[in-house]
Amino acid sequence: MRYPPFFDAVPRVRLRDPLAEFLGAMDDGVIEYCYLDAVRLAGHSCPTVAGAYGLTRAALGALYGAAMAERGAVRVSLREEAAAGVAGVVASVVSLLTGASGETGFKGLAGRFERRGLLSFGVEQDFELRFSRRDNGACVDASVRLQAVPPDPQMMPLMQRCLAGDADGESRQLFAGLWQDRVRRILLEHGDDPEVFVIRHRD
């Protein structure tokens, strides 16, 4: 399987999942996710997938600091309705990393480990997402400003040609390269940029 080399350079998200530990899936319940996991889940790599991955990483870091984040212990709300825009894609990546799920999520075992009902849509809030710890109530609002990392000027005209079937192989390859280069810049050059990944602690 071949993919852009920069995928491996994107910082990973390391969490402890008590359910994984309880069922013996992972030693000590520690799971490490990488950007490629999000790409596999979504089936593609794009600014939306990159933004959701980077924003969730930043939010968990803000909520837990130097401590390891706990999967299944965070509630997440989205401002958009589930069927609006890219909310579904964002929610899928957020769910992968946090374990938070809607009504179809894991129902738990004897009242423990439930992930159902931890992800909600259409919530009235200022930022795109809100992440809240279930144990202590700590909460952060989070938004990603992808417009702060603009695409190469050639990209959109090339995309239109590719979609119309008017592009040759060289042009298609150039488009794909420029597309992934923007993803690279979002995750690597701006991965810790507070002007791109905006986090606000709530009292």
Q: Are 137 and 124 in contact (CB under 8 A)?
A: no
161, amino acid identity: R
CATH class in words for 11-146+183-202 = alpha beta
* pLDDT tens digit at each of 203 positions of the chain: 899 999 999 999 999 999 999 999 998 999 999 999 999 999 999 999 999 999 999 999 999 999 999 999 999 999 999 999 999 999 999 999 999 999 888 999 988 989 999 999 999 999 999 999 999 999 999 999 999 999 999 999 999 999 999 889 999 999 999 999 999 999 999 999 999 999 999 87
Over its C-alpha atoms, the chain yields an Rg (Å, rounded) of: 18
Domain-by-domain residue ranges, the chain?
11-146+183-202
CA 75 to chain centre: 14
Q: Is the dihedral of CA 121, 126, 127, 130 positive or negative?
A: negative
Q: Are 55 and 97 in contact (CB under 8 A)?
A: no
pTM: 0.96
Q: Could you tell me which of 9, 183, 32 has the C-alpha nearest to residue 96?
A: 32
Q: Are 42 and 93 in contact (CB under 8 A)?
A: yes
